[in-house]
Amino acid sequence: MNKRRFLMIALPFLVSFSIVAGIIYWQGTAEQRDLPIEANQPTTLLDYDVEGKSPREIAKWIYDNHGCGECHTLTNTGLFGLTPLGQERAEGFEGCPGMLATVWETLAIAEEEWTQSQRKVRGDFVDFGCVLCHDVGPTGVGLTEIGARAALLHMSCSEVDSTLNR
Ligand code: HEC
Ligand code: HEC
């Protein structure tokens, strides 16, 4: 077989192999990208495009996507209302200000010495998605990257409240 003939046979193979490999690779990455949406997993504030959105729209997005609606309802009284779950928490003095205050309290105490209710609040702070924005470190509560973005957008928890419940 001479070189020219060899190339005429081998080249189409090579080209189609690269195309097929390329498509398979592209579909793989496309699938990865689509997965969160397909599985209907919440995207975070970092993925949310705030371009042209009003403060109210941004606050509503946070409310809908970061768990506030599990305990709160929207009102026009200036403050959130409470769902049955929220009411249950409020009776145990476990509102948002109380939860955050308790988390701070626990930082000064060794974990073995936490009371039952302190333990519960630390668990709830994780379970209710607070840690997505509030970074509980060994000596203080700071903000995660998502929390920092919320702060930058002027969307602290009380600002989400006051923006939505007017
Ligand atoms: C586990 C339930 C729960 C979740 C989840 C929750 N909250 Fe709360 N929050 C409460 C309760 C209970 C109170 C206390 C309300 C009261 O005592 O009247 C409260 C109080 C507040 C307050 C103080 C003002 C007020 O209305 O009393 C703000 C602000 C607030 N929540 C914001 C938020 C935001 C923003 C989110 C979502 C990021 C959120 N909360 C998620 C239970 C929850
Ligand atoms: C989407 C991000 C986000 C989530 C989720 C979130 N927070 Fe916040 N929260 C903030 C930011 C930002 C601030 C402002 C903090 C600052 O400026 O240091 C804040 C402030 C607060 C404050 C102080 C009052 C205020 O608004 O400044 C409390 C209390 C609080 N958060 C409790 C909670 C609790 C409890 C949860 C879980 C139920 C929660 N947060 C979930 C972003 C969030």
**pLDDT digits 0-9 by tens, 100-112:** 999 999 999 999 9
Predicted TM-score (pTM) of this structure: 0.82
Token duo for residue 138: 């060994």
Token duo for residue 58: 């941004």
How sure is the predictor about 123, in pLDDT bands with cuts at 50, 70 and 90? Answer: very high
For ligand 2, the distance from its centroid to the CA atom of residue 76, given in whole angstroms, is 21
Pocket of ligand 1 (CB under 6 A): 66-68, 70-72, 79-80, 82, 86, 89-90, 95-97, 128, 157-158, 160-161
- CA distances in angstroms from 166 to 41, 77, 160, listed in the order given: 30, 6, 11
Check residue 39 and give its pLDDT: 47
Q: What is the pLDDT averaged over residues 78-89?
A: 95
For ligand 2, the distance from its centroid to the CA atom of residue 10, given in whole angstroms, is 63
Atom of ligand 2 nearest to the CA of 143: 18
Burial track 34-48 (b if 16+ CB lie within 10 A, e otherwise): eeeeeeeeeebbeeb
Token duo for residue 11: 């080249």
Check residue 5 and give its pLDDT: 73
Atom of ligand 1 nearest to the CA of 130: 38
